[in-house]
Structures are given as structure tokens and as C-alpha cells.
Amino acid sequence: MRILVVGAGATGGYFGGRLAQAGRDVTFLVRPARAARLAQSGLVIRSAFGDVTIERPKTVLAAALSDDFDLVLLNCKAYDLHAAMESFAPAVGCETLVLPMLNGMSHIESLDARFGAHRVLGGLCVISAALDDDGAIRHLIDRHRLVLGARRQTEAGVIRRVVSALDGAGFDARASDIIEQEMWEKWVMLATLAGATCLMRGSIGDIVQSPGGEAFILGLLEECASTARQNAFAPRPPVLEQIQKVLTTARSALTASMLRDMERGAPIEADHVLGDLVRRAGEHPVPILRTAYTHTKVYEARRAQASNA
């Protein structure tokens, strides 16, 4: 299976690097600067599960992309989705499958509209990684999981092919019979984490130890979970219990990547993670979620003003 990994940043580089190390046919679609860095230093992963160095990873620039690939592994920020779709479109042939690992659900609608729903799988990843100053990928937690699944019964056969290509590559890969359910559950978790830590500008532990902090988190979690229920994807009780446990752990240093992006003045996924959930809530009251979304949009407005000054 020929695999095109869109980008070689922290997440795409991690999974793509593991696949390349395992001997899979992997090509990274990258920008010129990243291509030059990879040609000079290779693709480097530093992880508790074992370090990886791919000295000369296969790369391609968008302008040179012409061949069809069997699988497009897509991980980008939501605000880069439309540019990413245009960049890898020449690689999408009649039999190509697209496996996105973005958060939320609106990207599925965009990918369906651009490439056809029959080509777009459901997917999510559980990982935390970052690029070091030297361009190496630093794996930050003890999880590196990729979950994928068919969104239609007719796609079940192709899932086995994709899982076979991903299996045994040095990370956890599994198929899910309820992939959209799992995507919604991750979204509930992420929206609560991002909304809480961005609004309060602190870690979960900071919030929990503050007066009213735990009640605030649980209130936001219920709003996100109730929105999922309204959309026919109620979080399963054991999953919701685990999310609640993670988000109310005393002294936890956990923060959302959205907060870390805000702290360094970077773009954020406000509309994709929080705004789209507000939209899907409709008339259902979600005051904490709406406040968190407004907070992130104020940040975006001030950032835009600063860049135009």
C-alpha cells in the first residue's frame, strides 16, 4: 500500500516515521522548508517507545505531486484543511482512501464534499507530540494510538486492508465498528479540556484546586456531552466516567494544545473544536461552552489586529 502522509510535523511525522521505519511505502507531502530540513537531518523521533531516525525519508512537494496513492494519512490543523485538500488532491485516484485524524466532525463534511464520501474513512488519534527547535519530533505521553473505521457498512472490507498496512508499525492501530461514536466522544473530551483550560488560562490541576473549579469543569463537560446526545451520539457511560476522572484529577498538569498555542501567539482551532459544537447545540442552552468559544474568538480578533498593525 502506497501511503501519502500530509505533512511531517509532530503528529504526521510521528505516525509516518513509525510506518517508514517498519518498511512501509511512505511519502511525506511537505513544504519546501521542511523538505530541506528532512534532507539535511532526516526524520527524527524521540520517544519512550524507542527513538527513530529515517535518514532520507521520501518527500514530495505539492507542485510535483502527480501519482495516485492508496492511502492519504491526513493530520493538519483545521484552519489548514482547505489548503491541505488542494495540495494532496492530485494524489487521489479512483481507489484512494483518505484517513483524517483531525478533531471534531466538520472536516468530514468538507472532505466528503471535495473527494466523495466513499473515499473518506472515520479516524482519530491519541497522541501528544511536539517539534523541537532542531526539527525532531518529541513524543510527550505514553500513548500513540490510531483508530479508524468505516462510516458505511460497504466500507468494512477496505478497513481490513488499511489496518493490515498500519499494524505492527510500532504504534497502536485498531479498527472500530463505531468510529463516529468514538470521534464524538473524543470531541466531547477535547472541547471540555480546551474550553476549560483556555478560559481559565491554567492546567486541569490549577482549575480543580481553585474555588468552584471542579464544578465549572463538570458543568462544561455536561454541556458538551448533552450536545453529543442531541446529535444522537451520547457518550457511553464508562467513557464519560473516564473523561470526568481525567478532567478532575488533582494536581494534574494537563492542558489543551489550544492553550499552548494561545500562549505562544499561534493560530488556534476555535471554530472547529468549540464553535462547531456550539452550532450543533442549536437552541440547547450551553452558556459555559458559548463563553469559552467567545473567549477564543476574542483572542483571534486581537491576534489579527496585532498582525495588521
Instruction: Give Dmax over CA atoms of the chain in angstroms.
Output: 58
Residue 172, SS3?
strand
Q: Which of 163, 181, 180 is nearest to 171 (CA)?
A: 163
* Nearest-angstrom CA–CA distance, 75 and 249: 29
From the candidates 58, 186, 245, 297, which is the catalytic residue? 186
77 is catalytic: no
Q: Which of 71, 266, 40, 1 is nearest to 29 (CA)?
A: 71
Say if residues 44 and 136 touch (Cβ distance below 8 Å): yes
Torsion sign across C-alpha atoms 26, 30, 34, 36: positive
Cell numbers of 125, please? Answer: 488519534
Q: Which of 158, 177, 87 is nearest to 118 (CA)?
A: 158
Backbone angles phi, psi at 194, to 5 degrees: -65, -45
Per-residue 3-state assignment (H helix, E strand, C coil) for 67-83: CCEEEEEECCCHHHHHH
Active-site residue numbers? Answer: 186
